[in-house]
Amino acid sequence: MANKNNNNSRLKTWFGKIQEKKRIIVLDIDNYEEKRSYTTSKFNLFVLSTFCVIVLGFLAFTLISYSSLKTLIPGYPNPTQQQQLKDKNIIIDQKLSELIEKTEKEKVYINNVLEILNGNIPLDEKDTNWTKIKTNVSPTQNEISPSEKSIREKVQNREKFDIDVIPGGALKSEVLPQLLLFPPIKGEITNKMNISNGHFGVDVIAPKNEAVSSILNGTIVYQNWSPTDGHVVHIQHKKNLLSIYKHNSEILKKIGDFVESGEPIAIVGNSGEHSTGPHLHFELWHNGYPLDPEKFINFN
Ligand SMILES: [Zn+2]
């Protein structure tokens, strides 16, 4: 208690001391004559100097912030560097939006390919050939004739690539009765489709350098060269219809290209070990099963 009182009285004494008025006298150095005099206290001097420091600090801050002096601060970018940074940001923004656009396009492309493979219809709806198929192949089981239904069930119960048990292309001629396909090439058929021999299409003799055409609107999904088959191209059409063209001398399209019915896609040749002269080996597949092209296409 006594200690606290002691502290209080000390504080009072100290506060009284700094408030004590003092006199500052300015003397002439030659004759010690009084020039000017000020009356103040230590406390007043402290308040005045604090105020001066705040004002000076504010002025310095304003001067540096609103003038080019700020560029002299170490680490602060100069105007040229700032412009370069801005330019870089713009370039990065452009590249980013290009990348996003490209990704979106690729997404659409992949979705389209998936849609085609799933039998949905992302391709051009104006395809009249396909409209005919749609009207003949009803999507609901109720509208399918009993014989067609039993054929479908048989097919669905079999393994997709168990070729031995497929009763030839005749099966599908009932499913796709009025399908009008453009002949890939006109000419004599020298080798008919024969599943038991492993010949899943027909060979059509044609003059050299004759154009090979797409049988229906579709998308090029495969294009390559192999020693046995030469230049080969596959076209995916709507509803899981796939056409294959082998032994070409040249392919005119790239994978992903959309082609129309009758559009030239290759030049006939005799490329590949299995080819003995200029001819086209043509295959037609539906839902993973080979069809006999002669039942759908007039090659003469
Ligand atoms: Zn062949």
Per-residue three-class SS string for the chain: CHHHHHHHHHHHHHHHHHCCEEEEEEECCCCCCEEEEEEEEHHHHHHHHHHHHHHHHHHHHHHHHCCHHHHHCCCCCCHHHHHHHHHHHHHHHHHHHHHHHHHHHHHHHHHHHHHHHCCCCCCCCCCHHHHHHHHHCCCCHHHCCHHHHHHHHHHHHCCCCCHHHCCCCHHHHHHCCCCCCCCCCCCCEEECCEHHHCECEEEEECCCCCEEECCCCEEEEEEEEECCCEEEEEEEECCCEEEEEEEEEEECCCCCCEECCCCEEEEEECCCCCCCCCEEEEEEEECCEEECHHHCCCCC
Q: What pLDDT is stored for residue 187 in this prediction?
A: 94
Q: Which domain holds residue 57?
A: 2-65
CA of 202 from ligand 1 middle (Å) equals: 6
* Ligand 1 midpoint to CA 51 (Å): 102
Tokens of 232: 């080969």
Q: Does a structural domain hold residue 105?
A: no
Q: What pLDDT was estimated at residue 184?
A: 97
Domain assignment present for residue 77? The answer is: no
pLDDT at 38: 84
Say how many Å lie between the CA of residue 85 and the centre of ligand 1: 63
Centre of ligand 1 to C-alpha 291, Å, is 14
275 Cα to the center of ligand 1, angstroms:
8
Distance 82 CA to ligand 1 centre (A): 68
**Cα(55) to centroid of ligand 1, in Å?**
97
Among residues 49, 65, 81, the one where a domain terminates is 65
> What pLDDT score was predicted for residue 170?
41
Q: What residues of the chain score a pLDDT lower than 50?
A: 122-139, 141, 158-175, 177
pLDDT at 267: 96
246 CA distance to ligand 1 middle (Å): 8
At residue 117, the pLDDT reads 66
Residue 168 located in a structural domain: no
Which of 11, 36, 65 is the C-terminal boundary of a domain?
A: 65
For residue 270, how far is its CA from the centre of ligand 1 (angstroms)? Answer: 11
Residue-level pLDDT at 173: 46
Dist. CA 50–CA 47, nearest whole Å: 5
pLDDT at 133: 44
Please indicate, yes or no, if residue 273 is contained in any of the structural domains: yes
**What per-residue confidence (pLDDT) applies to 166?**
42
Å from CA of 199 to ligand 1 middle: 6
For residue 272, tell me if it sits in a domain. yes
Asked if the structure places residue 156 within a domain, the reply is no
Domain with 226 in it: what CATH number? 2.70.70.10
Please tell me the distance from the alpha carbon of residue 248 to that of residue 243, in angstroms, as a whole number.
Answer: 14
pLDDT at residue 134, as a whole number: 43
**Cα 81 to middle of ligand 1, angstroms:** 68
Closest C-alpha among 173, 167, 102 to residue 136: 173
Residue 144 lies in a domain: no
User: 233 CA to middle of ligand 1, Å?
Assistant: 14
80 falls within a domain: no
| CA nearest to 222, candidates 252, 255, 266, 267 | 255
Domain boundary pick from 65, 80, 115: 65
pLDDT digits (tens, 9 = 90+) for 7-21: 888 888 888 888 888
Taking the centre of ligand 1 as the mean of its atom positions, its distance from the CA of residue 174, in whole angstroms, is: 24
Give pLDDT, residue 26.
84
User: In the chain, how many domains are there?
Assistant: 2
